[in-house]
Amino acid sequence: MTSILFRNVRLIDPAAGVDRPGDLLVADRHIVACGDALAPPDGTDIIDGRGRVLAPGLVDAGVFRADIEACIAGGITTIVLMPDQSPPLDDPALIERAERLGKPRLWVRPLAAATRGLRGRELAELGLMQEAGAVAVATGRAAIADSGVMLRMLRYAAGLGLVVVSHAEDPGLVVGAVATEGEYATRLGLAAASAAAEAIQIARDLRLAREAGARLHFAAVTTAEGVALVRAARAAGQDVTAATTPEAFLLNETALAGYRSFARLSPPLRLEADRLAVRKGLADGSIEMIGSRHDPRTVEDKRQPFSDAAPGAAGAAILLPLSLSLVHDGVISLLRLLQLVSSQPASRFDLPVGSLAAGAPADLVLLSPDAPWRIAAETLPGLAGNTPFDGLPVQGRVDMLLKGGERL
Amino acid sequence: MAVTIPAGANPYPHPHLLAIEGMKPWEIAALLDEAEQWVEPGRRARKLDDRLSGLTQINAFFEASTRTLLSFEIAGKRMGADVVNLSAGVSSLKKGETLLDTALTLNAMRPDVLVIRHESSGAVALIASKVDCPVLNAGDGRHEHPTQALLDALTIRRRKGGLAGLRVAICGDILHSRVARSNFHLLAAMGAEVRAVAPPTLMPPHIAALGALPFTDMAAGIEGADVVMMLRLQLERMDGAYVPSTREYFRTFGLTQERLQAAKPDVLVMHPGPMNRGVEIDTEVADDIQRSAITEQVEMGVAVRMACLDVLTRRRRGA
């Protein structure tokens, strides 16, 4: 049984809200202690951190593929997997299988499909899937159009104590749309839907969740109006959380120019006012998670005219450096950022990670938050490199990743 | 506003013709001047010019078309090119080949110029980025149809003596129209006052950014217009409810002689075709020889396409 002592590191424990220099000792796959000048037992590997940051491995909530290499490159040790798999995760056996996908290098915590086949009509076996290991329920890539079905599903999930993860786009408004209504969509001649599609869905789901007494989470909030609705609901005491993506706080409709299909996303890129509102929502705590929505696509899916290409971006490997731009821009602190990408998703989905407390699993990331490099889609680790951030200079590199005390 | 071509400059320095957006006014004027030279020869009995002889022109139409395809074919043949047509019905796209594989296949045939139409916005530019010859956009989705805007401009210029200062109302299904987008860019660049007239469901937002003033009232929109350009109601693109019926559409947005009273007395009526008579345009207006320039547009289409094929292949021909 190996033990590892990290010396001279900047310990950031997002769960405890602590950011201080010190040492950390790992033994038997768990964190033994954090402190100053810890004495290592015999045979301990000693790693000199040289002042770099040591934090819990990232928790990426709401990814579409269990892409182990991309996660390892991105410092991610736990993912919450969307039910949009092939076949959809609407059966306890499929949940059990999904849970084993990444072992031992990645924890995969699946979300149960809210309805059979994610078709939005009949309830799936939420209770049995919960027993099988589903950490929450999700509507998938699309919202449930029928409010009656949604209300019953929310009530049923509330009875099981499960959080419901909702996709915030009104299905009727976004039929056929590949972009947000705006100058660029008009210029480029792309079928577009109003950004209000998000707010309308959020407003409905908030109201239904209140009716049902359900716990709600929005998988991606990307518009000014959407952020405002979530902020107001939280202020009113509703049990609701929201996540957003690096694309939402870094890019806007202008990235559509040139019809690069890597910029075809779901939800689509928004307008500049929305981007600024998302940053504000991150700064004031209205949005409490950042996730990559990692969705690697093959060349065949993406090398198409914009409207014909499959939506989605591969982002797990670059979630951290893209998010660190918020720290470098002075929007939030590094401690706060690590809460957004580890302890807060962990606590929302009740996962025993995202902490440096003694006894927590030794899922650790050693990182240089300022190290500069440049994103290259061609060489992005993982299943595919479909990212709209190709060529972007970023800061922040994962130097070492431990999963259950083992170096990856 | 007279447009002068900068001395010594190549009047059209681009490898392809993909969009009007971004073109300089003098580039547009130069193409129109080139096209003007082809109008008279086109009216002669013997029309052949041999400047494109030995060159292979492929018209790859991934979306159905009659008049544009025919116009490009005639344009190429009148200059002696070997013209080959590929249309959606017989293409291997139906057999599951990706668009880019088709593009690479076409490229391997070593064409000297490719004319492409596709139903997806941006698709023609995507193909252009993968082939080695000049590409002419013959319409991509709702994006642009540059030769249509050029032929419209040529028609207007010949009838009105110029483009600057004219009030041009483009009416109908703006949302789905690539013709409208190309015309907005071209007419705005040439100093015309452009108006977009459409029911709210067929008017895209932020139209002013393209240089057009939006109107949802037909009478107000065509008031004092020098040119009224009607667009076809694209029934095949209407996968939702945009207008209740063609009957109601004709009542509110159809161009009739009565409604045309609001425009200037010498108003020019245009339509890119094919027309839906009794839907967007009344037969009486369409056939009004004093005002309607609809058949003339078709004629100018051949001249404009000859000019574009000529200009784009000059480098290859060493001309």
ipTM, two decimals, is: 0.89
Nearest CB to B181 within list A182, A189, A258: A189
A370: confidence class by pLDDT, cuts 50, 70, 90: very high
Q: Above 60 in pLDDT, residue A222?
A: yes
Residue B1's pLDDT is what?
A: 47
Per-residue model confidence as pLDDT tens digits over A82-124: 999 999 999 999 999 999 999 899 999 999 999 999 999 999 9
Residue A2's pLDDT is what?
A: 78
Sort out which chain A residues have CB atoms less than 8 A from B205's CB and list them: 181-182, 186
Pick the residue of B97, B121, B179 with the most A CBs within 10 A to test the interface with A by mutation: B121
pTM for this predicted structure: 0.92
Which residues, in sequence order, are CB contacts of A368 under 8 Å at separation 6+?
A52, A53, A396, A397, A399
Residue B4's pLDDT is what?
A: 75
**Mean pLDDT (chain A, rounded):** 96
| Smallest Cα distance from A198 to chain B, Å | 18
| Smallest Cα distance from B82 to chain A, Å | 29
Q: What percent of chain A has pLDDT over 70?
A: 100
Sort out which chain B residues have CB atoms less than 8 A from A259's CB and list them: 121-122, 125-126
Task: Write out residues in chain B with pLDDT < 70, as ranges.
Answer: 1-2, 89-96, 236-240
Residue B95's pLDDT is what?
A: 58
Sort out which chain B residues have CB atoms less than 8 A from A305's CB and list them: 99, 118, 120-123, 126, 141
Question: How many inter-chain contacts (A to B, CB under 8 Å) are there?
Answer: 69
Sort out which chain B residues have CB atoms less than 8 A from A192's CB and list them: 204
| Smallest Cα distance from A120 to chain B, Å | 21
Residue A47's pLDDT is what?
A: 94
Residue B2's pLDDT is what?
A: 61
